[in-house]
Structure 1
Amino acid sequence: MATIKDVANKAGVSISTVSHVLNNTRFVAETTKERVFQAIKELNYAPSAVARSLKVNRTRTLGMLVTTSTNPYFAEVIRGVEETCAERGYTLILCNSGGDPDRQQASLRMLIEKRVDGILVMLSEDATELYGLLGTHPELPQVLMEWGDTQGDIYRIQDNAEQGGYLAAKHLIDKGHKAIGCITGPASKSLTVERLAGYRRAMGEAGLEVNPAWILEGDFEPEGGYAAMERLLAQKDRPTALFVFSDPMALGAISAAHMAGLRVPQDLSVIGYDDVPMANFFSPPLTTIHQPKYRLGQKAAKILLAKVNKEEESNKVLTLHPELIERSSVLDLA
């Protein structure tokens, strides 16, 4: 395997000149550069990434810590991050915490040991201890994204969840539905509180009664949607339409309805939230509220790269604008 010394000998230059050409750390004449690159090509020389990172104090590697990489919402965000990193010549190390605080902290320590140039943290649950650990490394560029209040260097995701909940419920109302229930996310989540507030606002504007028995708590996952639908089906009186607070939960709910012999939308209309890629392939295709997940990932990566390159962005709020995507899972009763 060729070394940097072999390249220098073949090009007739010093080792330091080859290093400057590779790292662009000093002016080198074009003719000299050409000789160096020609020698690199002929020798099939591959510079050591480790050695280069020690030299320039950069690894061109970013770390990303997420709650779960399998949830379709996060998967689309991650794709936006990955592709932006690739476009800028960076490698991304992805760590899936599975919601386990110990795994979160172990992953963070690993990323720091790998000498990543920056870390992007995107978690859906409370991570106070993790943020405290990150605070002990203020020299490391960080973008900490959460759906709560902005504090310090945390970039807040403002997804207009109340407006999204309003759009979902209003669509069902506009289609002639009056008996409308919800399968929510965990009651402690701000997303749940805001989407439920939007649902209540739409119902109030239409003069419709909210039946507490038809508001069932889920967990944003298919299993939670399935279990909540089973609880709803056990009730004597049922709604004609259901607003489900995530598309994966909607998939679980529709599956449970089908198992009980109900047809969607003929017997029960369903609207989801997030517009994950699979939503168009549900049976029937799911009407839902779209969020620009891929663009969010792009923006998050660009913010972190700006911090890495000391080009700080002042905007600490990433605003998402929900949009109704109408497909075939809502029956028109109007």
Structure 2
Amino acid sequence: MATIKDVAKHVGVSTSTVSHVLNKTRFVSEDISTRVLAAVDELNYAPSALARSLKVKNTRTFGMLVTTSTNPFFGEVVKGVERRCYEYGYNLILCNTEGDIARMHSNLDTLLQKRVDGLLLMCSEVDNEEFNLFARHQPVPTVVMDWGPIDFPSDKIQDNSHHGGYLATRHLIAQGHTQIGCLTGPLDKLPAQQRLSGFVQAMEEAGLTINKSWIASGNFECEGGEKAFEELYARGSLPTALFVCNDMMAMGVINTANKKGISVPNDISIVGYDDIKLAKYITPSLTTIHQPKHRLGQQAVDTLLDKIQSQRETNLIIQLEPTLVERDSVKKM
């Protein structure tokens, strides 16, 4: 494999001249630049990323830890991260934690050993763990995304889940519903807590009774929605409407209700949360709360780059606002 010394010898210039031509760090005459680039092609020379990183003390690589899930929400956020990294000329090393604490720490060690320039964390399983991030490594700039650890000192990009829950419930109330239930995510997770609190605020402001028999928790997956709806069904009478705290659970609810001969929205109306791409293609298409998932990923990369380039020590909290998307799963009373 050709080296930079081979290119320099072939052209009859110094290695520093070759470096300046390739990195555009200093003016080099057009004639020499042309000869250097021709030699690079002729010798099939590829600059060493490792050598460059040792010299400039960065790798132009970010690491990302993400919880494995069947929820397309995560994939849509990662797509935004990958696109932004590509636009800025950064590589991304993506690690799935598989929901496992030991695997998370192993992945983290690997990323830090590879000298990534920054970290993006989107792994909800660390919420209740002591997250001693840099026990064996020097700290690196870090951005925690929605579903990441709550108390870790870093920049944070998050969804205003309380307002999203409020918007969902207000919409059901505006459509004439007074008997409204809520199927939450796991209540040890901050997004689930906040979406439920938004539901409670909207109900209390409207002077409506919150029936605890119409509240149940799931795991933010389709089977969680199925299980939570089965709980409500076993308790007796159903509400006329449900705020289901994410789209995956909402799809589980619609499927389970259909099997029991319960029509959505004629018998029960449903509002979901996330606005994953599948939401508009199910039957009925799902009224839901839109999270700007692609922008969440982009903003996380932008914030991480700002932290690196400005070398600021203060930590930012950036909140993205959700919006209501009306489709066919809510009936006007």
Compared with structure 1, are the counterparts of its residues 129 and 32 closer, same or farther at alpha carbon in structure 2 (3 Å cutoff)? farther
Deviation at 1:314, TM superposition (A): 5.4
Q: Secondary structure at the match of 1:208?
A: coil
Separation in 2, partners of 1:130, 1:49 = 35
- Say what the alpha-carbon RMSD is for the aligned residues: 2.3
Q: Secondary structure at the match of 2:330?
A: coil
Q: How does 1:88-107 map to 2 (within 5 A)?
A: 88-107=88-107
Match in the other structure for 2:325:
325
Match in the other structure for 1:43:
43
Separation in 2, partners of 1:191, 1:139 = 27
Match in the other structure for 1:259:
259
Q: How does 1:226-305 map to 2 (within 5 A)?
A: 226-305=226-305
Compared with structure 1, are the counterparts of its residues 129 and 168 closer, same or farther at alpha carbon in structure 2 (3 Å cutoff)? closer
Contact 2:176–2:332 (CA under 8 A) maintained in structure 1: yes
Contact 1:147–1:156 (CA under 8 A) maintained in structure 2: no
Q: Which consecutive residues of structure 2, in runs of 5 or more, have no partner in the other structure?
A: none
Compared with structure 1, are the counterparts of its residues 257 and 325 closer, same or farther at alpha carbon in structure 2 (3 Å cutoff)? same
Separation in 2, partners of 1:318, 1:101 = 27
Q: Aligned letter for 2:201?
A: R
Compared with structure 1, are the counterparts of its residues 186 and 152 closer, same or farther at alpha carbon in structure 2 (3 Å cutoff)? closer
Compared with structure 1, are the counterparts of its residues 17 and 130 closer, same or farther at alpha carbon in structure 2 (3 Å cutoff)? farther
Percentage identity across aligned positions?
Answer: 55
Match in the other structure for 2:21:
21
Contact 2:155–2:303 (CA under 8 A) maintained in structure 1: no
Contact 2:131–2:152 (CA under 8 A) maintained in structure 1: no
Separation in 2, partners of 1:174, 1:166 = 12
Contact 1:104–1:130 (CA under 8 A) maintained in structure 2: no
Separation in 2, partners of 1:294, 1:61 = 20
Q: Which consecutive residues of structure 1, in runs of 5 or more, have no partner in the other structure?
A: none
Of residues 197-206 and 317-326 in structure 1, the stretch that sits farther from structure 2 once superposed is 197-206
Match in the other structure for 1:34:
34
Deviation at 1:10, TM superposition (A): 2.7
Compared with structure 1, are the counterparts of its residues 55 and 225 closer, same or farther at alpha carbon in structure 2 (3 Å cutoff)? same
Contact 1:274–1:288 (CA under 8 A) maintained in structure 2: yes
Of residues 318-327 and 41-50 in structure 1, the stretch that sits farther from structure 2 once superposed is 41-50
Contact 2:2–2:43 (CA under 8 A) maintained in structure 1: yes
Deviation at 1:128, TM superposition (A): 6.5
Match in the other structure for 1:175:
175
Compared with structure 1, are the counterparts of its residues 153 and 311 closer, same or farther at alpha carbon in structure 2 (3 Å cutoff)? same
Contact 2:184–2:244 (CA under 8 A) maintained in structure 1: yes
Compared with structure 1, are the counterparts of its residues 146 and 168 closer, same or farther at alpha carbon in structure 2 (3 Å cutoff)? closer
Q: Secondary structure at the match of 1:144?
A: strand
Contact 2:143–2:157 (CA under 8 A) maintained in structure 1: no
Contact 1:180–1:239 (CA under 8 A) maintained in structure 2: yes
Contact 2:127–2:150 (CA under 8 A) maintained in structure 1: no
Of residues 212-221 and 48-57 in structure 1, the stretch that sits farther from structure 2 once superposed is 48-57
Separation in 1, partners of 2:41, 2:141 = 35
Separation in 2, partners of 1:194, 1:18 = 57
Deviation at 1:297, TM superposition (A): 0.7
Deviation at 1:200, TM superposition (A): 1.7
Contact 2:184–2:216 (CA under 8 A) maintained in structure 1: yes
Q: Secondary structure at the match of 1:133?
A: coil
Q: Aligned letter for 1:35?
A: R
Per-residue CA distance 1:278-311 (angstroms, 9 max, x = gap): 1111111100011111111101111212233345
Per-residue CA distance 1:23-79 (angstroms, 9 max, x = gap): 445554444323212221333322222232233332221110112264222212111
Match in the other structure for 1:137:
137
Separation in 2, partners of 1:228, 1:74 = 22
